[in-house]
Amino acid sequence: MSDPEVSFETRGNIGLVTLNRPRALNSLTHNMAVELKRQLDEWAIMPSVQAVVVVGAGDKAFCAGGDVVKVTQSYKAGTTEWRDFFHDEYLMNIAIDEFPKPYISLVDGITMGGGVGVSIPGDLWVATEKTLFAMPETGLGLFPDVGGGWFLPRLPGETGMYLALTGARIKAPDLYALGIASHVIGSSQVEDVIAALAGTEIKSLDDAKEVLDRFHANPEPAPLAEVMDDIDSAFSGVRVEEILEALELDASEWAKKQHKILMSKSPTSLKLTFAQLRRGEVLENFRDNMRMEYRMVNRVMEGNDFFEGVRAILIDKDNAPVWSPNTLDRVKDTEIDRYFTSLDALELKI
- Among 89, 137, 174, 230, the active-site one is 137
Q: Are strands 183-184 and 124-127 parallel, antiparallel or unpaired?
A: parallel
CB-based contact 265:139 (threshold 8 Å):
yes
Q: State whether residue 119 is helix, strand or coil.
A: helix
C-alpha span between 82 and 72 (Å, rounded): 7
- Among 66, 115, 149, 167, the active-site one is 66
- Among 67, 88, 89, 145, the active-site one is 145
Q: What is the DSSP string of 229-293?
A: HHHHHHTT-SSHHHHHHHHHH--SHHHHHHHHHHHTS-HHHHHHHHHHHHHHTT-SSHHHHHHHH
Q: 90: part of which helix (H) or strand (E)?
A: helix 81-97
Q: Are strands 110-112 and 61-63 parallel, antiparallel or unpaired?
A: parallel
- Long-range pairs for 157-161: beta carbons < 8 A, 24 or more residues apart: 157/228, 157/231, 157/232, 158/231, 158/232, 158/234, 158/235, 158/236, 159/224, 159/228, 159/231, 160/277, 161/235, 161/236, 161/243, 161/274, 161/277
C-alpha span between 175 and 185 (Å, rounded): 12
Instruction: Reply yes or no on whether 137 is catalytic.
Output: yes
C-alpha span between 285 and 273 (Å, rounded): 19
The answer for residues whose C-beta is within 8 angstroms of residue 78's C-beta and 6 or more apart is none
Instruction: Reply yes or no on whether 145 is catalytic.
Output: yes
Q: State whether residue 137 is helix, strand or coil.
A: helix
**In the chain, what is the straight-line distance between the N-terminal and C-terminal CA atoms, in Å?**
34
The answer for residues whose C-beta is within 8 angstroms of residue 278's C-beta and 6 or more apart is 153
Instruction: Reply yes or no on whether 303 is catalytic.
Output: no
- Among 113, 114, 147, 280, the active-site one is 114
CB-based contact 4:42 (threshold 8 Å):
no
Phi, psi (degrees; rounded to nearest 5) at 304: -105, -40
Active site residues: 66, 114, 137, 145
